[in-house]
Chains A and B, each alone.
Chain A
Amino acid sequence: MSKWIPLWLHKLSSPPIFYRFAGSLRPWMLALALLTGVIALYGGLVLAPADYQQGDAYRIIFIHVPSAWMSLFIYGIMGFAAFLALVWRIKLAEVVAMESAPIGAAFTFITLVTGSLWGKPMWGTWWTWDARLTSELVLLFLYLGVIGLYHAFEDRRQGARAAAFLALIGIINVPIVHFSVNWWNTLHQGSTIRLLGPSTIAPGMLWPLLTMMLATKFYYLASLFGRVRTDLLDLESGKDWVRKLAAVEAAR
């Protein structure tokens, strides 16, 4: 136990300690993500009752809504890590912020794709310029901008700092975009279909949704840990602890 739980939490920001910590936690996170994901899918696709209006087509929310939550949640995590990286220049925070961006972009993309798959039978169109759809699309572009800026620099730490700054600008911008897009949409509101019909949700539908949310969270952690470990090895490739690891691997 004491091998991987650090005595002090702040020690986690040291790359070798975090490398070991993430390595030992990652399989658990992945297993939990699989377990909760399977339970949630079974609950959502089999146990939950069909919607009285939409029939079985509504079941896509068990993927769509948790992904949408994660797309915003990961942006929040990225912004927080970016703030830590810029203010205290913590190397691990830079890595966490930069490795969160592709995962968040993937969740945003899943949200858009599943939303448009659902929109075709329900609204009769793949895409509509609804306020929420548009803000989600802008969010995807913000993610892509961060990823693009990070890879545009030759020096990775400098790229990470620049991209972290962009993520912070984005975090100020996300509410402004959302508010202005809402305003724009209500100005031009013609006869678009309401996004959510009932405001209350049946408990039989709620628990798979919340379980799936847990699954996405665990998956995010597992994926993040794996990515951060790889990135740390690359960044610290000249350091002593990486050499020792490589020697152990080579001796095997």
Chain B
Amino acid sequence: MNPPGLVGACTAMLRRDLTLAWRRRGDIAMPVLYALIVTMLFPFALGPEDTLLQRIAGGVVLVTVLLAMLLALDAMFSSDIEDGSLEQLVLAPQPLALMLVMKILAHWLTTALPLIVIAPLLAGMLHLPVQVMPVLVLALVLSTPMLSLLGAILVALTAGTRRSGMLLALMLLPLCVPVVIFAAGAVAAAQQGLPWLAPVAWLGAALVLLLVLAPLACAAALRIALDA
């Protein structure tokens, strides 16, 4: 039997991960519910004044999405490690980095995309002006893949450990500082009527760089973590 080609392997990988996620549809809803509840807590804590909520809306939505993604990151490789399919992936003839891109893509589709879809709703709950919404969604579309890619490297590094939840947060959040700054900067600039293209362009450039480098780093990290 001939091994499948590169494209075939990639689509098979993607289809497998998406099918697995679809079989457990409840898990997809969890980060969304989490983000909704966290956003709901802010008006309770800070008071329901429109001007205050409007000012913090962009930042709150970004940070909430980041935290919701952090919660879901842990599951990226855990089931594959348990049943041993990750070792098979490492041994497979196809390049590991490419296979990991497919896994990260599937993970982004199942966790970040639902969050981006409800982000305007979350921002609306905090009275973010409607004309700023497209910028917020654009900033999220560019920054969430970066979080997935950075997170994948760190999840791969902690693959060999047992207690990794809080550790993952400790490692990931400092690395996310630039992403948060530029994404929130774009939203804040749009809110003040200033040009917001520059921070968005920086986000795009960083995303392209990460798209190239992060899968390679992720593959290297996974080899380190599984090499016991």
Q: Which residues of A pack against B, CB within 8 Å?
A: 86, 138, 141-142, 144-145, 148-149, 152-155, 158, 161-162, 165-166, 169-170, 173, 176-177, 179-181, 183-184, 187
Whether B181 contacts A161 by the Cβ 8 Å rule is no
Candidates B167, B178, B181, B185; contact of A152 at CB < 8 Å: B167
Q: How far is the CA of A154 from the CA of B160 in the complex (A)?
A: 9
Closest to A179 in B: B178
Taking A158-B228, A179-B178 as known contacts, 5 extra A-B pairs with beta carbons closer than 8 A to each other, sorted by chain A number, are A152-B161, A169-B153, A176-B178, A180-B182, A183-B181
Q: How far is the CA of A183 from the CA of B202 in the complex (A)?
A: 12
B54 in contact (CB, < 8 A): no
Whether B164 contacts A158 by the Cβ 8 Å rule is no
Cβ-closest 6 pairs across A and B: A180-B178, A145-B171, A152-B161, A141-B174, A184-B181, A138-B174
Q: Which residues of B contact A86 (CB under 8 A)?
A: 224
Q: Which residues of B contact A142 (CB under 8 A)?
A: 174
Instruction: Give the number of residues in B that approach A within 8 Å (Cβ atoms).
Output: 29
Q: How far is the CA of A142 from the CA of B173 in the complex (A)?
A: 9
Whether A165 contacts B181 by the Cβ 8 Å rule is no
Give the shortest distance, in Å, between A82 (CB) and chain B (any CB). 12
Whether B220 contacts A165 by the Cβ 8 Å rule is yes
Q: How far is the CA of A139 from the CA of B170 in the complex (A)?
A: 12
Whether B228 contacts A165 by the Cβ 8 Å rule is no
Whether B167 contacts A173 by the Cβ 8 Å rule is no
Q: How far is the CA of A153 from the CA of B227 in the complex (A)?
A: 12
Residue from B163, B175, B185 having most chain A Cβ neighbours under 10 A: B175
Whether A155 contacts B177 by the Cβ 8 Å rule is no
Interface residues of B in 213-228 (CB under 8 A from A): 217, 220-221, 224-225, 227-228
Given contacts A158-B228, A177-B177, A181-B177, contact A153 B221 (CB under 8 A): no
Q: How far is the CA of A181 from the CA of B176 in the complex (A)?
A: 12
Closest to A146 in B: B171
Q: Which residues of B contact A145 (CB under 8 A)?
A: 167, 170-171, 174
Q: How far is the CA of A154 from the CA of B189 in the complex (A)?
A: 47
Whether A187 contacts B185 by the Cβ 8 Å rule is yes
Q: Which residues of B contact A148 (CB under 8 A)?
A: 167, 170-171
Whether B174 contacts A158 by the Cβ 8 Å rule is no
Q: How far is the CA of A120 from the CA of B113 in the complex (A)?
A: 45
Whether A162 contacts B174 by the Cβ 8 Å rule is no
> What are 9 A-to-B residue pairs whose CB atoms are below 8 Å?
A149-B161, A152-B161, A154-B161, A158-B160, A162-B160, A169-B153, A173-B178, A181-B181, A187-B189
Closest to B159 in A: A162
Task: Please report whether the interface of chain A is mostly helix, strand, loop or mixed according to DSSP.
Answer: helix
B142 in contact (CB, < 8 A): no
B143 in contact (CB, < 8 A): no
Q: How far is the CA of A181 from the CA of B170 in the complex (A)?
A: 19
Q: Which residues of B contact A169 (CB under 8 A)?
A: 153, 175, 217
Candidates B157, B167, B185, B189; contact of A165 at CB < 8 Å: B157
Closest to B227 in A: A158
B148 in contact (CB, < 8 A): no
Whether B178 contacts A149 by the Cβ 8 Å rule is no
Closest to B213 in A: A172
Whether B158 contacts A152 by the Cβ 8 Å rule is yes
Give the shortest distance, in Å, between A35 (CB) and chain B (any CB). 37
Give the shortest distance, in Å, between B70 (CB) and chain A (any CB). 14
Give the shortest distance, in Å, between B142 (CB) and chain A (any CB). 15
Give the shortest distance, in Å, between B203 (CB) and chain A (any CB). 11
Q: Which residues of B contact A152 (CB under 8 A)?
A: 158, 161-164, 167
Give the shortest distance, in Å, between B103 (CB) and chain A (any CB). 19
Q: Which residues of A contact B185 (CB under 8 A)?
A: 183-184, 187
Whether A138 contacts B177 by the Cβ 8 Å rule is yes
Q: Which residues of A contact B173 (CB under 8 A)?
A: 141
Given contacts A141-B170, A161-B224, contact A173 B175 (CB under 8 A): yes
Give the shortest distance, in Å, between A252 (CB) and chain B (any CB). 39
Whether B228 contacts A155 by the Cβ 8 Å rule is yes
Q: Which residues of A contact B221 (CB under 8 A)?
A: 162, 165
Give the shortest distance, in Å, between A142 (CB) and chain B (any CB). 5
Whether A166 contacts B178 by the Cβ 8 Å rule is no
Give the shortest distance, in Å, between B193 (CB) and chain A (any CB). 14
Q: How far is the CA of A177 from the CA of B220 in the complex (A)?
A: 23
